[in-house]
């Protein structure tokens, strides 16, 4: 039995087999254990010699089991280490990298410029109420200017904001002058789309309010923005225009040219001095909220522009709809660039 057991131990190929060999010989009802149990049935004079004999066998088996177990454990560990080894010299796998959407890159440029000029950068709700989007901005329901911004109405009477200007009102209701903010975010208009018009697009709104703010400040600020975008020789042009929430109002354009010699006036947005009716509407809302009226006698300017126009020229994108079609051939060109 001894030789047979030792051979089985030596030949056990893995720890599982070794365990069953162990059970077979020295387990609770193993062969050796049973022999030991049977000692009691032997006549006393044989018992001692037989006991010593079996114990020697058991010791030999235990020792062999211990050795074989150590060897097998070592082998199992070696195998695991070999299979889990990392070759740190292998070149890495390319990971799919995202990138900033071109509109966000233009926003980064713009908010960088205004951030350096000390403006706070804020956002606001895309679902608006009629009062903030129109009424408080001096556009009552019968005003023809409502036709200029065809509106997506929601079932509960609210709407998708048609411009970022309602944030002028919200911010002034919550803050006292002086203040300087730019608002970034999406706006929506119920419009037929074409190469330069989308039903969802973006705006950057600016608002500065204080004492003695003038049209000269507005022009200087827009010129500074243009220099920030297009360098120190950038030129801006203002043309009289009409917005119910400004008086006077203007449209502004920036002279754009690229190294290939292409150039044009880029109509960027609208601007003007904040209309006194807007300050009045803000003070009314403040009063209703238990806050002091603080906007009477203040002056300020505001502007709103479309970053899509800037991005189309900057990146040579011929159709605004490419920005939002989620075509990887377009957006993939901006991958990995931050």
Binding site for ligand FA5 (CB under 6 A): 163, 165, 189, 191, 197-198, 201, 203, 205, 243, 246, 249, 267-272, 302-306, 308-309, 320
Mapping DSSP to helix (H, G, I), strand (E, B) and coil, where does residue 16 land? Answer: helix
**Beta strands of 189-315 (E only): which ranges?**
200-210, 236-241, 246-257, 263-274, 299-305
Q: 52 CB contacts (<8 Å, ≥6 apart)?
A: none
In terms of CB distance, is 24 or 219 closer to ligand FA5? 219
In terms of CB distance, is 87 or 147 closer to ligand FA5? 147
Q: Min. distance of Cβ 270 from ligand FA5 in angstroms?
A: 3
In terms of CB distance, is 165 or 221 closer to ligand FA5? 165
Q: Using CA atoms, how far apart are residues 237 and 254, in angstroms rounded to an integer?
A: 6
In terms of CB distance, is 239 or 258 closer to ligand FA5? 239
Q: Which residue has the tokens 């189309």?
A: 312
DSSP code for 118: T
Q: 60 CB contacts (<8 Å, ≥6 apart)?
A: 2, 6
In terms of CB distance, is 5 or 274 closer to ligand FA5? 274
Q: Using CA atoms, how far apart are residues 154 and 164, in angstroms rounded to an integer?
A: 18
Q: Which residues pair with 202 in a beta bridge?
A: 186
Q: Min. distance of Cβ 293 from ligand FA5 in angstroms?
A: 22
What's the residue count for the chain?
338
In terms of CB distance, is 107 or 201 closer to ligand FA5? 201
Q: Min. distance of Cβ 205 from ligand FA5 in angstroms?
A: 6
In terms of CB distance, is 228 or 249 closer to ligand FA5? 249
Q: Min. distance of Cβ 231 from ligand FA5 in angstroms?
A: 21
Q: Using CA atoms, how far apart are residues 132 and 205, in angstroms rounded to an integer?
A: 15
Q: Min. distance of Cβ 194 from ligand FA5 in angstroms?
A: 9
Q: Min. distance of Cβ 115 from ligand FA5 in angstroms?
A: 19
In terms of CB distance, is 208 or 302 closer to ligand FA5? 302
First to last CA, the chain: 76
Closest residue to bound ligand FA5 by CB: 306
Q: 175 CB contacts (<8 Å, ≥6 apart)?
A: none
In terms of CB distance, is 25 or 134 closer to ligand FA5? 134
Q: Min. distance of Cβ 271 from ligand FA5 in angstroms?
A: 5
Q: Min. distance of Cβ 120 from ligand FA5 in angstroms?
A: 17
Closest CA to 210 of 297, 116, 117: 297
Take residue 166 and report the two structure tokens written for it.
């309602």
Q: Using CA atoms, how far apart are residues 255 and 233, in angstroms rounded to an integer?
A: 10
Q: Using CA atoms, how far apart are residues 19 and 217, in angstroms rounded to an integer?
A: 89
Q: Min. distance of Cβ 334 from ligand FA5 in angstroms?
A: 19
Contact 314, 334 (CB under 8 A): no
Q: Using CA atoms, how far apart are residues 165 and 300, in angstroms rounded to an integer?
A: 14
């Amino acid at each position: 039995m001894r030789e047979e057991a030792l051979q089985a131990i030596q030949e056990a190929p893995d720890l599982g087999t070794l365990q069953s060999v162990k059970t077979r010989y020295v387990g609770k009802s193993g062969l050796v254990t049973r022999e030991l149990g049977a000692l009691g049935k032997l006549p006393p004079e044989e018992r001692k010699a037989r006991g010593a004999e079996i114990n020697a066998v058991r010791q030999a088996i235990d020792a062999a089991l211990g050795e074989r177990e150590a060897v097998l454990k070592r082998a199992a560990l070696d195998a695991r280490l070999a299979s889990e080894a990392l070759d740190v010299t292998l070149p890495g796998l390319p990971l799919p990298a995202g990138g900033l959407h071109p509109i966000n890159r233009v926003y980064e440029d713009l908010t960088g410029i205004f951030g350096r000029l000390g403006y706070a950068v804020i956002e606001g709700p895309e679902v608006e109420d009629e009062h903030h989007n129109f009424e408080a901005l001096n556009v009552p329901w019968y005003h023809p200017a409502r036709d200029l911004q065809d509106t997506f109405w929601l079932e509960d009477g609210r709407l998708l904001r048609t411009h970022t200007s309602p944030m002028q009102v919200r911010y002034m209701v919550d803050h006292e002058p002086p203040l300087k903010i730019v608002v970034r975010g999406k706006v929506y208009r119920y419009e037929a789309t074409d190469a330069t018009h989308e039903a969802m697009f973006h705006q950057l709104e600016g608002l500065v309010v204080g004492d003695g703010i003038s049209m000269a400040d507005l022009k200087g600020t827009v010129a500074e923005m243009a220099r920030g975008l297009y360098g120190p020789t950038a030129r801006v042009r203002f043309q009289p225009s009409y917005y119910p929430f400004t008086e006077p109002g203007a449209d502004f354009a920036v002279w754009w040219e690229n190294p290939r010699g292409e150039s044009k006036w880029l109509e960027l947005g609208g601007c003007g001095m904040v209309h006194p009716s807007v300050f009045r509407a803000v003070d009314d809302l403040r009063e209703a909220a238990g806050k002091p009226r603080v906007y009477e006698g203040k002056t300020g300017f505001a502007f709103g522009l479309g970053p899509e126009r800037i991005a189309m020229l900057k990146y040579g994108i011929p159709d605004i709809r490419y920005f939002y079609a989620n075509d990887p051939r377009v957006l993939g060109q901006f991958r990995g660039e931050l």
